[in-house]
Amino acid sequence: MADEGGIYAEDIVKNSYGTLGLVVQDAEETSDDSDNEDEALKKGELIVSWYPSGNEETTLISKVKLADRSLLPGDVVKHADPNKSKQKGYISDVEVVASVKVLAANQVVTNVNCRELEPLQELLPGVHVTLGPWLGFVKEANQRVTLKMKNGSRCCIEDEQTEMLYDMSDQRDEDSPFYSEAFYPGQVVAGPSKVFKEAKWLSGAKPIIHSQQQMRGTVEEVKVVSCELNWQICGACPGEEFGVLIQPDATVNEDQLSRLKVVNHYRHASIQIGDKAFYTVKAKDLEMTANSQEGKPSSLAPLPNGQRADAGQVGNSLSPLSDHVPEEEVSWHEENKKSHHQGVVSDSTDADDDGDGGEHTGHKSKGAHSQGPKHDSSTGAPSMRFPVKRRRKRAKRKRKPLPHMEVNVGDKVCVEITSTCTTVDVIWQDRSKNTRIPSTDLTPVFHLDEHEFFPGDYVNDKRVTADATVYGTVLTTNCASRTCDVKWFTREGTELSIERDVSVYDIAEHTDFVFNSGDIVVRMVPPDYCTSPLAAAPTPSTPCVGQVMNVDEHGNVFIRWVDETEAHVIPQELYKVDTEDDDQSVEYGDDSQNNSEDEWETASDVSSDEASPDHDDVIIDNSSPQVDGEGRGEENDTENKEAVDLNALNEILSNRNPAFMILGAVPEDHIFKSTIFDPGNRRKIMSVIQRELSLLHSSLPSGILVRSFEDRVDLYRVMITGPPGTPYEHGLFLFDVKLPQDYSSSPPVFHYISMCSGRLNPNLYEDGKVCVSLLGTWTGKGSEVWTPKSSVLQVLISIQGLILCSEPYYNEAGYEKQRGSHEGLENSRLYNEMVILKVIHSMATMIARPPSGFETEIRQHFVENIPKLLQKLNFWLEHNKILTAAEDSCNDVLDNEATATQEDRKEVKDEKKLEEQKPKEDQSTTKLPQEDQCPANIPHEEENGLVEESAEENRTGTVEKPEGESCQSSASSRTSQLQEAHKSSNDPLKLSDFPLFPLSKGFRKSLEGCLRQLKIATEAQNLRACTSIEKVLNNL
């Protein structure tokens, strides 16, 4: 993510010289926990790889401009213009138009639709393919490269030997985003003599090969001869025989390769500058070339005279080349490979000298990102003003210009993308649609909460009264009010009804039906039995694998199959393939590192289960407790009691502290009761536990209660009160704690006892996971990580102060950098709405089923705090009504002003038109504007049709700023009156210390449901809060 300046990683930018570059990294991508702070980017900095040289430079956002932005189907976006609608949308289709350089002819073709480009190699690792009804992905593709030598002899090289060949014309680093390992006809390649000795010679006289020589030749043909595939699933097709249901062999040989069909309808959207592809020359391209020679605009235009083709001097199969590579070129390529991971800094002036080779790029690991600007950078990169960080410094060398091949209509030639222009279709949350929007007018949205819905999303109803067999499809979403219109369906897919204004907090993403544009799906029900009324009649060749286009208003998934036919299918008949995991497993193998979100969710597993071998004995899976665990536990408990210093324990017990108490036995519902505690060095660990007990007894801060147990001194149960001034205030949060057998060398294990569905904090998971750096379940530095001197008390204080905080939104990994931005403030406000609802939901659950060990304390807490909470909610609702009324009043004033202003603007236009129609007195004399007519004071039209007026006075005689201040002043005054009315309360009311207002309509609707649950729970437990709850409900 990037700053609100609007430049993101993988964007295409241009500098003041017009040179294009790919943003490799922005400051927001730099990890907060990076060990090397010197290399971390500062806010507003970017690392750009300039095209075509591939040189990297650290520069400022203010020094570059956005040229193009890569967006893919399914990406969520918003308007880049802050004055436009705040709603979000998703990309439904992408068009990319490019300028491409014909490498063999050193000419540029403009306005090429990227759908017309063909990949150099289609079967690449990670690409999904079908064979009949079977879907799988390519793990490895073995290819055969046929070379033609200078003396006319031909040879072929296969498998691993092809990896030793390199492009003679491409001097870019192997890790450059513009580098490619793909081969194509006409390319001049070289390799060690060993490769050619082991090659299969097809025709002509085999040249003399010396052991120390590097040989070169021209690629004549590139062909995939076999593929290693990972078959994933078999779909259902009509009239299928038993034979097709048998999984195909993992190895597909040359005679079967033609049956493979690639599943990649949106391949064109992944094109970016520097990529190579095949293009078939059209007649109009040559016609435009003829026009350019006459001084007219050209489509296929030669580069300026004397201009070096930095990425194009590869079409030299017609030139008199020697089979042997000059020594200086050999030494450079050897140095290039040896220094693959080294980096040096050099001035950008070197880029012009050593950029005489060709440059090309291959399959990008970024999945499907197409980026590029409208400008043609074939003229090469000019000298930069800033130092360029280069991964390697290579020897300068000169190359003689080589003749270029003539291009004819119908020729399939290799081209390199020099610039792109991306436009997209967007479906907005209100279901409106815009087409052909320039991607630069949109901003990608990286941080979406679980309550952000879009047309076509499948949802479940979370309300208590909901029917679990019913699911829904979102028709529209109102992002301001946080409500949706939902069409409900039976389990079989029959339409039931449409419900308006459903709170987003009352629905959740469907557990099984999640379909986005571009997803690969497999039909699991034969089309003969298809229940969708829009489905076409099946044929024997009807495919069962395709990609999602969208979800229609009838709740059907609109799919384009691999044979380019289309169909509407109900979600129950489809299986979505998880392609992201497949790509990672192919690209990175078993040693791959997950992305930041995966690290967050798996850090607890890695740290608590794998960091210490003892943990396997400590934590037992709740779903399969040990049958004999209790027997061994009792035996160990007897030994543990003997090892404890009884005098010290009695001293602790005698000084009773209600915050810390030692109970007799572990509750049956303690998550770690079935685990075994059998430390190797009992005396040592009992000494540590004794110190821990003493510290908890004497030093617990207010709001934290701890219970220990005589029969299991390694277990605790903790209750923390929600801190004041946070959305967690008045709530209770319980944890089960286990000390490992090597405590305190290893941190304790915490389990959060969740009382609501979903997460009410980024660090507290519904399954009990607690993400805290002290526990080793999240990264940290210095005092943030566990040491033998750390204690359970430190963890408790960290949870109370750092996790249960006033703005928990920023606890999410990487979100802290949004603090201070408008986007961060709005996201934090909406997150706090969700927290308050879940806290009330948790209260109702905890009142009905209080965890053992704290029954009395829980009841007493809610007797005291529920009335305070209800009084506060009532005050907030009254204040929100005042805010809403004041905002509506201000909007009415502004609307009236806008109407009057538009009428005045029309009068000005009419006067101007009449003035233009009058005969002009003297056009030879230029009249200078008077001082009172200078452009700063003359009204001018904006894009929204309004006329910008002076801040002090406009045509209506109203002053805009004081009017707005008047509205705010009125709202503030009425809120003060409310506070005065509540002064008699023992707990004076005040507005929240965290972002919360204005309260959305969805929040108020869900609050009503939560309060009714709370009312039922309090009535059952005779807590007598019903009257106060009814008062709040009436205010809703």
Write 155-159 long-range contacts (CB < 8 A, 24+).
155/196, 155/199, 155/200, 155/201, 155/202, 155/206, 155/217, 156/199, 156/200, 156/202, 157/191, 157/195, 157/196, 157/199, 157/200, 158/200, 158/225
Apex CA 803: angle with CA 798 and CA 806, to 5°? 120
| Rounded average pLDDT over 405-415 | 87
CA distance 778 to 15: 39
Instruction: Supply the Cα-derived Rg of the chain in whole angstroms.
Output: 35
| Rounded average pLDDT over 724-745 | 96
Q: What is the per-residue pLDDT across 932-954, written as a single tens digit (0 to 9) for each?
A: 333 333 333 333 333 333 333 33
The set of residues, in sequence order, having a beta carbon less than 8 Å from that of 856 and lying 6+ positions away, is none
CA distance 686 to 692: 10
53 CB-side CA count, 13 A: 29
Single pTM value for the model: 0.78
pLDDT of amino acid 593: 42
What sign results for the dihedral spanned by CA atoms 495, 497, 503, 505? negative
pLDDT of amino acid 907: 60
Residue 884 CB-density burial (10 A; 0-12 exposed, 13-18 middle, 19+ buried): middle
pLDDT of amino acid 533: 52
Q: Does the pLDDT at position 981 exceed 70?
A: no
Contact present, 70 and 268 (Cβ < 8 Å): no
CA distance 872 to 862: 15
Tell me the DSSP string of 738-789: E--TTTTTS--EEEEE--SSS-SBTTB-TTS-B--GGGTSS---GGGS--TT
Q: What is the per-residue pLDDT across 500-523, written as a single tens digit (0 to 9) for each?
A: 999 999 999 999 999 999 999 999
Contact present, 54 and 357 (Cβ < 8 Å): no
Residue 677 CB-density burial (10 A; 0-12 exposed, 13-18 middle, 19+ buried): buried
Q: Indicate the pLDDT class of residue 527, thresholds 50, 70 and 90.
A: low
Q: What is the per-residue pLDDT across 42-83, written as a single tens digit (0 to 9) for each?
A: 888 999 999 999 999 999 999 999 999 999 999 999 999 999
The mean of the pLDDT values for the chain is 77
pLDDT of amino acid 612: 37
Q: Does the pLDDT at position 423 exceed 70?
A: yes
CA distance 260 to 131: 5
Supply the residues annotated as catalytic. 771
Nearest by Cα to 751 from 777, 725, 727: 777
pLDDT of amino acid 598: 39
Nearest by Cα to 290 from 278, 305, 274, 301: 301
One-letter identity of residue 1028: S
CATH class of the region 1-69: mainly beta
pLDDT of amino acid 751: 98
| Rounded average pLDDT over 266-272 | 93
Q: Indicate the pLDDT class of residue 651, thresholds 50, 70 and 90.
A: low
Q: Does the pLDDT at position 282 exceed 70?
A: yes
All structural domains of the chain with their residue ranges: 1-69, 124-259, 646-805, 809-886+989-1035
Write 955-958 long-range contacts (CB < 8 A, 24+).
955/900, 955/901, 955/904, 956/897, 956/900, 956/901, 956/904, 958/893, 958/897
**Averaging pLDDT over each range in 36-40, 79-83, 644-648, which range is the top one?**
79-83
Tell me the DSSP string of 846-911: HHHSPPTT-HHHHHHHHHHHHHHHHHHHHHHHHHHHHHHHHHHHHHHHHHHHHHHHHHHHHHHHHH
CA distance 392 to 175: 11
| Rounded average pLDDT over 291-315 | 43
Report the residue count for the chain: 1036
CA distance 280 to 284: 12
> Which one has a higher pLDDT value, 568 or 333?
568
**Averaging pLDDT over each range in 265-279, 315-329, 895-909, which range is the top one?**
265-279
Q: Indicate the pLDDT class of residue 238, thresholds 50, 70 and 90.
A: low
> Which one has a higher pLDDT value, 336 or 554?
554
One-letter identity of residue 762: P
Q: Give me the residue label for tokens 């519902």.
A: 669
- What HEC string does 938-957 produce? CCCECCCCCECCCCCCCCCC
| Rounded average pLDDT over 195-222 | 89
DSSP, collapsed to helix, strand or coil, labels residue 21 as strand
Q: Does the pLDDT at position 807 exceed 90?
A: yes
CA distance 147 to 142: 16
Q: Does the pLDDT at position 306 exceed 50?
A: no
Beginning with the edge strand found earlier in the chain, give each strand of the sheet holding 574-576 in spatial order.
566-569, 557-561, 545-551, 520-523, 574-576
Nearest by Cα to 219 from 290, 169, 281: 169
pLDDT of amino acid 616: 36
Nearest by Cα to 183 from 363, 389, 373: 363
Backbone angles phi, psi at 879, to 5 degrees: -65, -40
DSSP, collapsed to helix, strand or coil, labels residue 496 as strand
Q: Give me the residue label for tokens 């905002």.
A: 887
DSSP, collapsed to helix, strand or coil, labels residue 423 as strand
Q: Indicate the pLDDT class of residue 974, thresholds 50, 70 and 90.
A: low
pLDDT of amino acid 932: 38
**Averaging pLDDT over each range in 96-100, 288-292, 605-609, which range is the top one?**
96-100
Q: Indicate the pLDDT class of residue 19, thresholds 50, 70 and 90.
A: very high
User: 1-69 with 646-805: one CATH topology?
Assistant: no
Let me know if domain 646-805 sits in CATH 2.60.40.420: no
Q: What is the per-residue pLDDT across 175-202, written as a single tens digit (0 to 9) for each?
A: 889 988 899 999 999 999 999 998 999 9
Q: Give me the residue label for tokens 């289960």.
A: 609
